[in-house]
Structure 1
Amino acid sequence: MSPPQTLDDWLARCEHLHPKTIDMTLDRVAAVRDRLGLRFDVPVISVAGTNGKGSTCAMLECIALQAGYRVGLYIKPHLVHFEERCRINGEMASADSLLPHFEAVEAARQGVTLTYFEFTTLVIMRALAQASLDLVILEVGMGGRLDAVNAVDADCAVITGIALDHTEFLGPDREAIGREKAGIMRTGRPVIVSDPEPPASLAERATEIGAELWLIGRDFNFQGDKQQWSWSGRGRRFNSLAYPALRGANQLLNASGALAAFEAIRDRLPITAQAVRNGLAMVELPGRFQIIPGQPTLVLDVAHNPQAVAALALNLDQMGFFPVTHAVFGAMRDKDITALLKHVAPLVDRWYLTDLPPARAAKASELASEVRVASGSRPVPVSEHASPELALRAAAAAADPADRIVVFGSFSTVGGVLKDGLPRLTARHLG
């Protein structure tokens, strides 16, 4: 086999290094980390949780950039390009800049089998460690305790909303999942919990290891009206804040967690009120209740578990009147599809269901039976499509200018639309 030459070559190689897609252990990652000499000399914030991780990371990044700091961000999964996962000073890393780090991890591996996620996590963390930065933000993957990101001792941990997801790996209830997320805590270091109803297992773990627990509603909080909001922490307040540029009902929880993290490390990384205002006003994150203007209106959201879809349904309900709502939907088979559909089915008038590339994705035909059950006695048209692009084309062709199209579910669904669907739609279909 010829050695990898391009980013695509390396990614293809990473997919075949380990017999499992997910291998819940840190030993192999830690061994390669040590051989790489991987360490950070600047503050590191790790962010775990079921929902809200990406938004929290994006807010942390944008506020720190507005404060004048050099910031590295590892965020995942990507929607279109792998390089989206590695951001340095607000810009996506280039494919070529990542190649030396793939080579270094491969050399340090010395036969250790790493999963795709583990290998690429080490690659991006090495890229960030060697950049000239003031702050590193690491989004934790599926869990926490055994996630590859947890091979790094973060200076501050943030745990966002916890819901039922990946139960086959993380446990059957919120308490069990909370214990896994709590694995990112470190003795004597702050952990910010922005879930307003956190599992008791989080506080139990913090007490057990002596982590400095910050709870929303106790150590920090927010309040607001329709025009503005304010935040208060242990020793600081921010008043008259504009709402974050990221839309959605839960974004103030995410923003509050981000501000608490900055307060917790303020002795190393002070943040001004103006940086907070500018950062929240300018933050962007594709695929999180992202509204693309035009006719019809297009909404993109990577909601793929019941809690996230419930938030999506609330956000959709607050948008105003649309004669018809068309939904493009694709999801993984291991999701609780029945539970998530019940939240949004009453709002959808026409469904366009799509197959997705991953092997664990549900087929459109499987989703169709779930949609019909969720819709109950209300007859709704349901069509099946081979790709997100084709599903979006069908929705756009059927929609009137005053309607809206909602694309939601797996990252593969929204990513497929961003990659192939939107660029190819005619102006007649979408404004």
Structure 2
Amino acid sequence: MSTPTTLAEWLAHCERLHPATIDLTLDRVRRVAERLALRFDVPVITVAGTNGKGSTCAMLEAILRQAGYRTGVYTSPHLVHFEERCRIDEHSVDAHALVPHFEAVEAARGGEALTYFEFTTLAILRCLSQSRLDAAILEVGLGGRLDAVNVVDPDCAVITSIDLDHMEFLGPDRESIGREKAGIMRPGRPAVVSDPQPPRSIVEHAESLGADLWLFGRDHRYTAQQGESGAWQQWSWSGRSVRFNGLAYPALRGTNQLLNASGVLAALEALRPRLPVDAQAVRRGLASVQLPGRFQIVPGQPTLVLDVAHNPHAAATLLHNLDQMGFFPRTHAVFGAMSDKDTTEILRKLAPLIDAWYFTDLPTPRAARADQLDAQWRALPRTAGAAMRATSSTHSSPRSALDAALAEADPTDRIVIFGSFYTVGGILQEGLPRLGAKHLA
């Protein structure tokens, strides 16, 4: 076979190297990283957790950029284009700029059967390490201890919310999962925890390791203030020696974002000797931060809401955020998910709020079929509210499901597109249609 020359060809090559999609170990990655002489000479912040990782990375990036630093971010998965996984100064890298780094990993691989994630992670890490950054922000893909990102020693670890997900790899409960996430901590270095009730395993691992543990409620905290109308308008944050008052809410929507932001500000305080950030950079960064697909509201008729909530904990947060949006006559839901997710529990949490379901197939063999999701929904007890009168249908793609929802929705309704990155990405890839047939009359 000829040597790949484009990013698309390299990605296809990566898919053929290992028989498994996930094979958790750092041994292979570490050997190749050593051959690559992979190293970072700038502060590295590594972010792990069940939910909130992407938002945390985006807020760190936005604030550091406003402070004048050159940032590099690695995040996964992507919504539309692979290049989204590697951002420099808040912009995705060009596809052709990644090719030399794929070539270097292949040359250093030495016959190692790297998984797709391992190979692509090494290529992106090499790209970032050679980009003359001031700070690197790395998002863990799965777990932490054995994730390919953990081949890099972070100067600060951030652990966001912990909940049940990927249990076949990480363990059956929060304590087991927390122990895996805590694997990104390093002795003597700050480890920031955003979860207000972290598993004991995280605290115990930090103490046994000698990490500098920053716990929410002890080392960092926030308070929110209500305006005369009763709406939450401002919030204040305090760390060990730094305080910010009268902050505007982050541009990323959802009440859970304050927990993420608290962890972000704690990480920045912990790294202050190397990356000083002033209050104005914090304010501008939180006001300007953007991250598609995280409770992303697209105003119009009808209103669209896009969210990559793909586990029960994220679904509960989505339900709460939807409930805070105000009145909509009907709520339509486009939903597609991977077969290894607890989709029954996700459906159970959202069912009371949804008037019409549009279940969709996804373009990957790992996905649950639309008819399977429909059967799971039909098996739920119809106890109250919208669930008793809701309808459902199945569709071959996220776009066809959205088209059906647009055809049924009134202009004053809302449509929630959620679940897998494939679900939200399938919509964003083709652009957001605004009007169904009934809206053109």
- What TM-score bracket applies, with the shorter chain setting the length? over 0.9
Does structure 1 retain, via aligned residues, the 8 Å contact 2:47–2:157?
yes
User: Aligned match of 1:234 in 216, 240, 265?
Assistant: 240
What is the TM-score of this pair, normalised by structure 2?
Answer: 0.96
Q: Is the 8 A contact 2:251 2:289 kept in 1?
A: yes
Per-residue deviation, residues 364-415 of structure 1 (Å, max 9, x unmatched): 0000011123362514211000000100000011111000000000000000
* 2:172 aligned partner: 172
Q: Which runs of 4+ in 1 moved over 4 A?
A: 423-431
Could you tell me which amino acid in structure 2 is paired with residue 83 of structure 1? E
Structure 1 SS opposite 2:345:
helix
Task: Please give the residue correspondences for 1:163-242 in structure 2 after superposition, counting only pairs within 5 Å.
Answer: 163-225=163-225, 226-242=232-248
- On the 8 A contact 1:38/1:129 being kept in 2, the answer is yes
SS in 2 for 1:227: strand
TM-score normalized by the length of structure 1: 0.98
Aligned residue for 1:228, secondary structure, equals: strand
Equivalent-residue separation in structure 2 for 1:269 and 1:63 (angstroms): 11
Deviates more, 1:1-10 or 1:156-165: 1-10
Matched residue, 2:398: 388
CA positional deviation for 1:421: 5.5
The offset of 1:98, in angstroms, is 0.4
Q: How many pairs align?
A: 431
How do 1:245-256 and structure 2 match up within 5 A? 245-256=251-262
Distance in 1 (CA, whole Å) between partners of 2:46 and 2:324 is 32
Counterpart in 1 of 2:317? Answer: 311
Q: Retained in 2: the 8 A contact 1:162–1:178?
A: yes
In structure 2, runs of 5+ residues without a counterpart are 226-231
Query: Does the Cα contact within 8 Å between 1:161 and 1:194 map onto a contact in 2?
Result: yes
Task: From 361, 365, 370, give the equivalent of 1:364.
Answer: 370
CA separation in 2, counterparts of 1:100 and 1:362? 36
Change in CA separation of 1:288 and 1:384 when aligned onto 2, cut-off 3 Å: same
Indicate whether 1:399 and 2:409 are aligned.
yes
Alignment-derived partner of residue 228 in structure 2:
none
Q: What's the offset of the Cα at 1:185?
A: 0.5
Aligned residue in 1 for 2:356? 350
Matched residue type, 2:264 = A
Does the 8 Å contact 1:296/1:429 carry over to 2?
no
Letter in 2 for 1:91: H
Q: Contact (CA 8 Å) 1:18, 1:113: kept in 2 or not? A: yes
2:95 counterpart residue number: 95
| C-alpha distance 332-349 of structure 1, shift in aligned 2 (>3 A) | same
**1:30, 1:151 within 8 Å by CA — same for their partners in 2?**
yes
User: Residue 223 of structure 1: SS of its match in structure 2?
Assistant: strand
Pair 1:130–1:364, CA change in 2 (3 A): same
What is the match of residue 41 of structure 2? Answer: 41
The match for 1:296 is 302
Decide which of 265, 275, 278 is 1:259's aligned counterpart.
265
Q: Sort the Cα spacing of 1:358 and 1:11 in 2 relative to 1 into closer, same or farther, 3 A.
A: same
For residues 412 and 15 of structure 2, the distance between their equivalents in structure 1, rounded to whole angstroms, comes to 44
Residue of structure 1 equivalent to 2:106: 106
Aligned-residue RMSD, C-alpha: 1.4
> 2:429 corresponds to which residue?
419
CA contact (8 A) 2:334 2:359 kept: yes
Q: What is the aligned partner in structure 1 of residue 293 from structure 2?
A: 287
Tell me which moved more, 279-288 or 336-345.
336-345
Alignment check: 8 A CA contact 2:48 2:158 kept:
yes
Q: Does 1:148 align with 2:154?
A: no
Q: In structure 2, do the counterparts of structure 1 residues 430 and 165 end up closer, same or farther at CA, with 3 Å as the change threshold?
A: farther
Identity of aligned residues (%): 69
Runs of at least 5 residues in structure 1 that lack an aligned partner in the other structure: none
User: Within 2, Cα distance between the matches of 1:306 and 1:35?
Assistant: 41
Distance in 2 separating the partners of 1:372 and 1:164 = 24
